[in-house]
């Protein structure tokens, strides 16, 4: 019955070509498309989405899968067994959602986003509330279609982004993590804050660009299979044959450009490390958003915010940034890159407070989905959690519960993958440090190849071969835990703040 397997793979590879085509259209839309092309682009993307959906719900897929699942000889092959397992997962998910619900979600997301944009501009939660109410109700319906008997609604949604993730498991790790991070934040407030001056130097964008390109190349990003461009919000996407990164430049914040670039390059190295021969099948796909984020955060933080890295990087910075470096030093920039300043939004957060933003959302989403939190109480509850966790006063809903697009886009159960990325990154960095006899001397010499190859060997090349929890255990030798992350963070920030 390998005939069924071959037909199945040809079918999903074709669906993947449509998906990667859509990715290129979306990349173009964000990087260079003239504004007047928006309507036609939306129609092109809508058509590609429909063609993909037709393929993923094609009844032949279920028949081919059943044939494969009954074929012991086929399943003796580990690659085939993993692909069949993951394609069954995808097909079940695709066929459990009624077409009418999918259409209603798409329509509501589109309208809710417009309503959100208006409500945010006016800081008017009441204007967005009916849309959020509708969105929560639809997400509840979606979760009810998807969930297994032992999953909560939130679990069923989170499983879309991080297979196997459950709120109860996360809570066991997140609650003590939150308490330690709040305590760390409070301790740092009494420490010696590093000088942020270098981060605020005015530097031409063309110089910044040459600098961040040099760093991305040093990290091993393959520019014969990738590009780096600009967009309002940095992102990384695969177009099938190559990987497109974007970054952004502010004239007075070169560290933002560097951090964004190293972050997206970390994502890009994961995409480039997937095996080309498996392209378009589960074995050639990233396994979860948490694992993806671990790759970006490892390079952004464990590498890019370390003193060892800056000892290599400082002459590179001097070469590209010129006299903006005068009067600064590697040690000083290391400090500036690690300044902690609790803020109102995750995308501007430092490493110490980043996960506290995630904790707020983790609590609120579950309360919204169970119905325990009446929507009218959301803004006040948001503000209380920001005060308790981050120690900041939210001045208005625009900078509070209306701050970003996740909920109006229907992304419930998505936020914790950001924290999983941080925890996994610390576990992987510690394991690579042990395996390579210490990362520090390698980073000091700008020798990034051993780390990149370790990640490729233990994470990238597996694609979806193992569920995320198993991949983490295999690569790091331990189950998900905050120990490595907290040890790394408290040690580094303790040094920076002289505690």
Q: Binding to its own copies by residue 103, rule CB under 8 A?
A: no
Tell which residue, 362, 367, 358, has the closest CA to residue 181.
358
Q: Binding to its own copies by residue 242, rule CB under 8 A?
A: yes
Q: How far apart are CA 87 and CA 91, in angstroms?
A: 6
Q: Binding to its own copies by residue 20, rule CB under 8 A?
A: yes
Q: Binding to its own copies by residue 102, rule CB under 8 A?
A: no
Side by side, the strands of the sheet bearing 243-247 are 226-230, 243-247, 236-238
DSSP state of 325: G
Helical segments of 147-191, H only = 153-158, 167-188
Burial of residue 233, with CB atoms counted within 10 A of its CB: 0-12 exposed, 13-18 middle, 19 or more buried: exposed
**Closer residue to its own copies (CB): 49 or 486:** 49
Q: How far apart are CA 266 and CA 271, in angstroms?
A: 9
Secondary structure (H, E, C), 253-280: CHHHHHHHHHHHHHHHHHHHHCCHHHCC
Q: Per CB under 8 A, which region of 33-41, 93-101, 300-308, 468-476 contacts its own copies?
A: 33-41
Task: Please give the span between the terminal C-alpha atoms of the chain, in angstroms, as a whole number.
Answer: 65
Within a 13 Å sphere around the CA of 50, how many CA atoms are in the beta-carbon half?
7
* Cβ at position 8, least distance to its own copies in Å: 17
**Closer residue to its own copies (CB): 40 or 197:** 40
Q: Binding to its own copies by residue 21, rule CB under 8 A?
A: yes
Q: Binding to its own copies by residue 108, rule CB under 8 A?
A: no
Per CB under 8 A, the list member of 1, 7, 44, 275 interacting with its own copies is: 44
Q: Binding to its own copies by residue 118, rule CB under 8 A?
A: no
Map the footprint of its own copies across residues 278-297, applying CB under 8 A: 279
**Closer residue to its own copies (CB): 34 or 59:** 34
**Closer residue to its own copies (CB): 249 or 497:** 249
Q: Binding to its own copies by residue 332, rule CB under 8 A?
A: no
Q: How far apart are CA 427 and CA 97, in angstroms?
A: 36
Map the footprint of its own copies across residues 49-68, applying CB under 8 A: 51
Q: Binding to its own copies by residue 197, rule CB under 8 A?
A: no
Per CB under 8 A, the list member of 2, 10, 37, 189 interacting with its own copies is: 37
Q: Per CB under 8 A, which region of 2-10, 23-31, 141-149, 260-268 contacts its own copies?
A: 23-31
* Cβ at position 244, least distance to its own copies in Å: 9
Q: Binding to its own copies by residue 7, rule CB under 8 A?
A: no
Tokens of 161: 């982004």
Q: Per CB under 8 A, which region of 219-227, 257-265, 343-351, 385-393 contacts its own copies?
A: 219-227
Instruction: Sort residue 463 into left (φ over 0), alpha (ψ -120 to 50) or beta.
Output: left
Q: How far apart are CA 178 and CA 199, in angstroms?
A: 28
Within a 13 Å sphere around the CA of 465, how many CA atoms are in the beta-carbon half?
18
Per CB under 8 A, the list member of 8, 9, 18, 158 interacting with its own copies is: 18
Catalytic residue among 86, 162, 264, 490: 264
Residues 6 or more apart whose CB falls under 8 angstroms from that of 459 comprise 270, 273, 291, 294, 295, 428, 471, 475
**Closer residue to its own copies (CB): 28 or 256:** 28
Q: Per CB under 8 A, which region of 4-12, 25-33, 350-358, 442-450 contacts its own copies?
A: 25-33
Q: Binding to its own copies by residue 384, rule CB under 8 A?
A: no
Q: Is 264 a catalytic residue?
A: yes
Give yes or no for a contact between 360 and 408, defined as CB atoms under 8 angstroms apart: no
Give yes or no for a contact between 139 and 412, defined as CB atoms under 8 angstroms apart: yes
Residue count, binding to its own copies (CB under 8 A)? 34
Q: How far apart are CA 359 and CA 372, in angstroms?
A: 17
* Cβ at position 319, least distance to its own copies in Å: 22
**Closer residue to its own copies (CB): 222 or 377:** 222
Per CB under 8 A, the list member of 7, 14, 205, 481 interacting with its own copies is: 14
Give yes or no for a contact between 297 and 263, defined as CB atoms under 8 angstroms apart: yes
CA 158 to chain centre: 13
Q: How far apart are CA 294 and CA 483, in angstroms?
A: 15
Per CB under 8 A, the list member of 17, 75, 127, 409 interacting with its own copies is: 17
* Cβ at position 37, least distance to its own copies in Å: 3
Per CB under 8 A, the list member of 106, 144, 164, 223 interacting with its own copies is: 223
Give yes or no for a contact between 54 and 15, defined as CB atoms under 8 angstroms apart: no
> What is residue 237's three-state secondary structure?
strand
Per CB under 8 A, the list member of 226, 273, 284, 286 interacting with its own copies is: 226
Q: Per CB under 8 A, which region of 28-36, 324-332, 478-486, 487-495 contacts its own copies?
A: 28-36
Q: How far apart are CA 366 and CA 387, in angstroms?
A: 19
Q: Binding to its own copies by residue 10, rule CB under 8 A?
A: no
Q: Binding to its own copies by residue 47, rule CB under 8 A?
A: yes
Active site residues: 264
Binding site for its own copies (CB under 8 A): 14, 17-18, 20-21, 24-25, 28, 32-41, 43-44, 47-48, 51, 222-227, 239-242, 279
């Amino acid at each position: 019955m390998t005939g069924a397997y071959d037909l199945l793979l040809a079918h999903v590879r074709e669906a993947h070509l449509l998906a990667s085509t859509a990715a290129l259209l979306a990349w173009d839309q964000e990087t260079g498309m003239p504004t007047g092309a928006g309507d036609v682009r939306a129609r092109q993307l809508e058509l590609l989405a429909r063609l993909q959906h037709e393929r993923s719900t094609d009844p032949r897929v279920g028949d081919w899968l059943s044939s494969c699942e009954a074929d012991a000889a086929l399943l003796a092959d580990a690659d085939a067994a993993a692909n069949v397992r993951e394609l069954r997962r995808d097909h079940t998910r695709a066929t459990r959602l009624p077409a009418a619900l999918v259409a209603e979600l798409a329509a509501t997301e589109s309208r809710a986003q417009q309503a959100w944009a208006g409500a945010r501009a006016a800081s008017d939660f009441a204007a967005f509330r009916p849309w959020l109410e509708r969105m929560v109700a639809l997400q509840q319906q979606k979760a009810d279609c998807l969930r297994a008997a032992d999953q909560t609604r939130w679990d069923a949604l989170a499983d879309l982004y991080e297979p196997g993730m459950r709120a109860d498991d996360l809570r066991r790790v997140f609650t003590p993590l939150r308490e330690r991070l709040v305590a760390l934040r409070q301790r740092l407030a009494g420490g010696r804050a590093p000088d942020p001056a270098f981060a605020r130097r005015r530097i031409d964008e063309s110089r910044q660009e040459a600098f961040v390109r040099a760093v991305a190349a040093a990290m091993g990003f393959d520019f014969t299979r990738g590009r780096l461009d600009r967009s309002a919000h940095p992102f990384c996407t695969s177009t099938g044959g190559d990987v497109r990164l974007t970054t952004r430049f502010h004239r007075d914040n070169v560290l933002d450009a560097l951090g964004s670039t190293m972050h997206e390059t970390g994502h890009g190295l994961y995409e480039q490390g997937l095996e080309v021969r498996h392209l378009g099948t589960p074995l050639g796909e990233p396994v979860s958003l948490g694992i993806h984020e671990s790759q970006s955060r490892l390079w952004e933080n464990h590498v890019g915010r370390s003193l060892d890295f800056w000892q290599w990087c400082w002459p590179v910075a001097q070469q590209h940034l010129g006299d903006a470096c005068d009067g600064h030093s590697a040690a000083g920039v290391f400090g500036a890159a690690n300044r902690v300043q609790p803020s109102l939004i995750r995308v501007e957060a430092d490493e110490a407070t980043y996960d506290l933003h995630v904790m707020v959302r983790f609590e609120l989403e579950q309360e919204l989905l169970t119905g325990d939190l009446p929507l009218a109480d959301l803004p006040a509850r948001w503000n209380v959690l920001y005060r308790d966790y981050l120690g900041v006063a939210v001045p208005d809903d625009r900078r509070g519960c209306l701050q970003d697009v996740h909920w109006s886009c229907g992304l419930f159960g998505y936020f914790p993958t950001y924290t999983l990325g941080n925890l996994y990154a610390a576990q992987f960095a510690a394991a690579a440090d042990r395996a390579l006899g210490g990362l520090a001397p390698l980073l000091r010499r700008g020798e990034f190849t051993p780390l990149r190859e370790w990640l490729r060997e233990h994470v990238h090349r597996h694609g979806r071969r193992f569920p995320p929890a198993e991949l983490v255990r295999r690569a790091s030798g331990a189950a998900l835990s905050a120990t490595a992350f907290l040890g790394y963070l408290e040690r580094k920030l303790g040094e920076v703040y002289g505690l």
